[in-house]
């Protein structure tokens, strides 16, 4: 990406309007990059995967229809968060079920214990960040929408909200994840329950248990 940035800056004086638009977009990304990288590392738990997330965010930003973007920083943050969560979900999908669902064995049987532990940590960190930062309703709406692509009307039915309110919950979650908010304490049992539900949903594609856990948290019931 650094070579591309240099080439783009050098060509600015001799090219047309479309490249100038890309140049401006490049500087938007450069300014946002440190914050995006910090955010990605918080979710995925390691620098290597975070760099991959930022690189993919850059590629998405290059290919975006920037004429329709009213808030570039918000779009970049949303893209980075969604890609980071996808990395975490992929880590779950690379595992096989075993007797203890909290620590499944990896599909790659040649992977060492350090690699298994790193993947486990990435998932637990992501869930912990969501629980520390978001309200139960925001967390439920955000995980189901951004993590699993559920339609807004389905999420609204699960949470007993209107579709408009559900969209607001997701938007608020995005702002909180990318802002500077005080972290709230997390109950260890609740954290483990959500980690296991997230794992089950990512591995099997059946969201039923995850939906029940998130709904119970959002309504304050167990």
Instruction: Say if residue 45 is in the same domain as residue 140.
Output: no
**Which of 95, 100, 92, 151 is closest to 122 using CA atoms?**
92
Report yes or no on 100 lying in a domain.
no
Same domain, 208 and 114: yes
pLDDT single digits (tens) 153-175: 999 999 999 999 999 999 898 88
Has residue 204 been placed in a domain? yes
Look-up: residue for tokens 């309504």?
219
- Which CATH number do you get for residue 16? 1.10.1740.10
Q: Are residues 80 and 138 in the same domain?
A: no
At 144-153, the pLDDT tens digits run 888 788 899 9
Average pLDDT over residues 101-117: 42
Q: Does residue 104 belong to any structural domain of this protein?
A: no
Range of the domain at 50: 1-93
134 shares a domain with 84: no
In this structure, the number of other CB atoms found within 10 A of the CB of residue 53 comes to 26
Helix axes 72-93, 17-44, angle to 10 degrees: 40
């Amino acid at each position: 990406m650094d070579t591309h940035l240099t080439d783009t800056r050098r060509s600015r004086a001799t090219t047309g309007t479309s490249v100038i638009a890309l140049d401006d977009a490049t500087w938007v990304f450069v300014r946002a990059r440190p914050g995006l990288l910090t955010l990605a590392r918080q979710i995925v738990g390691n620098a290597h995967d975070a760099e991959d997330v930022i690189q993919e965010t850059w590629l998405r930003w290059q290919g975006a229809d920037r004429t329709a973007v009213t808030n570039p920083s918000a779009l970049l943050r949303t893209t980075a968060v969604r890609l980071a969560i996808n990395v975490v979900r992929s880590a779950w999908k690379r595992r096989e079920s075993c007797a203890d669902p909290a620590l499944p064995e990896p599909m790659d049987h040649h992977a060492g214990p350090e690699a298994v532990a790193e993947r486990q940590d990435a998932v637990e960190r992501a869930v912990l960040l969501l629980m520390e930062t978001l309200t139960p309703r925001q967390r439920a709406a955000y995980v189901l929408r951004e993590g699993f692509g559920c339609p807004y009307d389905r999420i609204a039915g699960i949470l007993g909200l209107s579709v408009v309110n559900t969209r607001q919950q997701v938007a608020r979650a995005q702002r909180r994840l990318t802002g500077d908010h005080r972290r709230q304490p997390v109950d260890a049992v609740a954290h483990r329950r959500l980690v296991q539900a997230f794992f089950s949903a990512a591995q099997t594609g059946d969201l039923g248990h995850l939906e029940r856990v998130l709904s119970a948290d959002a309504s304050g019931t167990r």
